[in-house]
Amino acid sequence: MVHAQSDSQIAAVRAFNRFYTRKLGALDQHLLDSPFSLAEARVLYELAHREAVSAKEIGLSLGLDAGYLSRIVQSFDENGLISRTPLPSDRRQQQIGLTAKGRQAFARLDRSSQKEVAAMLDTLPQPARERLVGAMTTIENVLEPPAQARSPVLLRSHRPGDIGWVISRHGAVYAEEYGWDISFEALVAEIGAQFIKSFDPAREHCWIAEVAGAPVGSIFLVRSTDEVAKLRLLLVEKNARGLGVGRALTDQCIRFAREKNYKKVVLWTQSILTAARDIYARAGFRKIAEEPHASFGAELMGETWELEL
């Protein structure tokens, strides 16, 4: 038998759900004036933030009916948003990933969401914003406690051979995941060569992340002026995503910048790089400018972010 107190709590949760879905426009046929429904947008999000995932895993994660999810996946496939390959462990199932077109579609949706939430927060004074975000964090942590730390990540300074690895892996990863051409690898090679030629260990650093003795990530902090440092070439390999590698590398950069008395850290990224942008935002960076450009064989939206130290 349900007690009266439980009835009121259930009613409060249901009322909040109705309020929040209405507030976010989640009941609209299309989300944020995009061609996607809420369910389709959530599937896009999962694909943009997970690697080597099957449709079954996405369905379990989102609680979607298998038939409904199958129709979404088929629609994405027909529109060139995803690629499908048999899972190595079970060829009866398919591994799904976003194509370059799919990542661009998600990046546009992500930008719209970012602007929508920013507009909502802009109507609130700072104390109210902090209360709102704190309450949301509490809800999330109560309903789904944060996972325990997994495999240990080691950060070390670069050594001979590492810069070549950084260049090679950037070229391969961005070609595979985003369809960028070899001009991006050329840019990374120029950055790497300049770092070696003008390396100032008192004010600059490169860190290589290792898991079980194998390199899985990189990041650079280089001098721009006496007061401004640049964060460059953040990379995390597929097999290490979800271990906190990107966040550990970024935090290390920020600590080093503070130790060297920089006043600001700046970086240039692309709107399509959603996982990296999430890491920067969580670390306290804020986007200060954006500009469309055609580079690396793709139409991109470049973004400048900065962190006041």
* pLDDT on residue 149: 46
Domains of the chain, start order: 4-143 (1.10.10.10), 154-308 (3.40.630.30)
Q: Which residues, other chains included, contact 49 with Cβ-Cβ below 8 Å and sequence gap of 6+? A: 274, 275, 278
pLDDT at 167 over 60: yes
Distances (CA, A) of 159 to 84, 162, 165, 166, 188: 38, 6, 11, 12, 17
pLDDT at 91 over 80: no
Rounded-to-integer distance, Cα 46 and Cα 198, Å: 41
CB atoms within 10 A of CB 62: 13
pLDDT at 150 over 70: no
Predicted confidence (pLDDT) per residue in 250-306, tens digit = 999 999 999 999 999 999 999 999 999 999 999 999 999 999 999 999 999 999 999
Q: What sign results for the dihedral spanned by CA atoms 57, 60, 61, 63?
A: positive
Specify the pTM.
Answer: 0.63
Q: What sign results for the dihedral spanned by CA atoms 297, 303, 304, 307?
A: negative
Residue 220 phi, psi (nearest 5): -125, 145
pLDDT at 119 over 90: no
* pLDDT on residue 206: 96
Average pLDDT over residues 74-88: 85
Model confidence at 30, in pLDDT bands (50, 70, 90)?
A: low
* pLDDT on residue 280: 96
